[in-house]
A and B are shown apart, each in its own frame.
Chain A
Amino acid sequence: MTVAVVQFGGSNCDRDTVQALESLGIEAERVWHEDGLPADVEGIVLPGGFSYGDYLRAGAMAAHSPIMDEVRDAAVAGTPVLGICNGAQIGCEASLTPGAFTTNESARFQCEHVHVRVENADTPWTRQYEEGDVIELPIAHGEGRFEIDDDRLETLEDEGRVLFRYCEADGTVTPEANPNGSKHSIAGVTGEEGDHVAVLMPHPERATLADIGVTDGQGVLEGFRAD
């Protein structure tokens, strides 16, 4: 079992993600994007950072790099894929997941802890939680506003593909608790190939090690544990 954490030029959460996964007893390694995926890959993380300096749009360049063809093939074959922050932007730009993450409503980079509510607990990434659970995770992004056309948004909602929604500490979804203006306060969604592919803007790997204080993100990374 090896989870490949794909490192692009400008990724900066790759080491944190490997460390967080290994702390849970999940074998993980960093994979430089030009080297391609290892043969025994059983999970893939597209980590956070500023791949290609966010040129053009956050995630746009990495989404069209050659390793993404391998990631897409693996996703189609059923390999779990998780995109975190810049990895979420890459996942959407690569059409692995629906919608787009674009400029925050504030037009500012925001780095803070937020609360998110588990909307669908029947996915690999949320099965450690109950539907309606509220967890605390850090965000750190300038382009995290989930945008999608209204028809597709309704389809996502109907199909239960919203993983997490920004909320107050008590679970109430309010405009004030939505840090970036995301439609329907969406913080994460599942993919076009099934719920083994998912992206989210908050950082579960920054809320996994006990030394950091908050460990609510462990359950998300547990999605890589073999059944």
Chain B
Amino acid sequence: MTGYTATVTVRLKSGVLDPEAETTQQALERLGFELEDLRSADRFEIDLDAASATDARERAEEMAERLLANPTIHDYEVDVTER
């Protein structure tokens, strides 16, 4: 078994309204920053032991499917690195 860190990034699907991101953008603009757009995402860093990077990825993907993301509104991506 090898130690891996699976990083799961969960973001809203394209086209789904993100009021918190819009509010954050407005707050940055009030502080004088110039920006075109702002998107927010949640990132989960999961340490786990697995037989291979593929195995670690599959487990992290199942976690995303079943809990970390809501498929109605979210897309997600998984990145695996060896610890």
A148 within 8 A of B: yes
**What's the dominant secondary structure at chain A's contact region?**
loop
Residue from A92, A104, A148, A149 in contact with B19 in the complex, judged by beta carbons closer than 8 Å: A104
- The residue among A104, A149, A181 with the most chain B CB atoms within 10 A of its own CB is A149
> What is the size category of the interface that chain B forms with chain A?
10 to 19
Contact B17 A93, beta carbon cutoff 8 Å? no
Contact A145 B70, beta carbon cutoff 8 Å? no
B22 neighbours in A (Cβ, 8 Å): 107
* Besides A100-B70, A106-B19, 6 other A-B contacts (C-beta < 8 A): A57-B70, A60-B67, A100-B72, A102-B73, A103-B18, A147-B73
Contact A107 B20, beta carbon cutoff 8 Å? yes
- 5 of the cross-chain contacts (CB-CB < 8 Å) are A102-B16, A105-B17, A105-B19, A107-B22, A148-B72
A107 neighbours in B (Cβ, 8 Å): 19-20, 22-23
A105 neighbours in B (Cβ, 8 Å): 17, 19
Chain B residue at smallest Cβ distance from A103: B19
A 112-168 contacts with B by CB, 8 A: 145, 147-149
B 15-56 contacts with A by CB, 8 A: 16-20, 22-23
Determine the distance from Cα of A148 to Cα of B70 in the docked complex, in whole angstroms.
Answer: 11
> What is the size category of the interface that chain A forms with chain B?
20 to 34
Contact B72 A64, beta carbon cutoff 8 Å? no
Contact B68 A56, beta carbon cutoff 8 Å? yes
B66 within 8 A of A: yes
Residue from B17, B23, B67 in contact with A64 in the complex, judged by beta carbons closer than 8 Å: B67
Determine the distance from Cα of A178 to Cα of B63 in the docked complex, in whole angstroms.
Answer: 34
B70 neighbours in A (Cβ, 8 Å): 57, 60, 93, 100
Contact A64 B19, beta carbon cutoff 8 Å? no
Determine the distance from Cα of A196 to Cα of B67 in the docked complex, in whole angstroms.
Answer: 26
CB contact under 8 A between A56 and B72, given known A106-B19, A147-B16, A181-B17: no
B18 neighbours in A (Cβ, 8 Å): 103
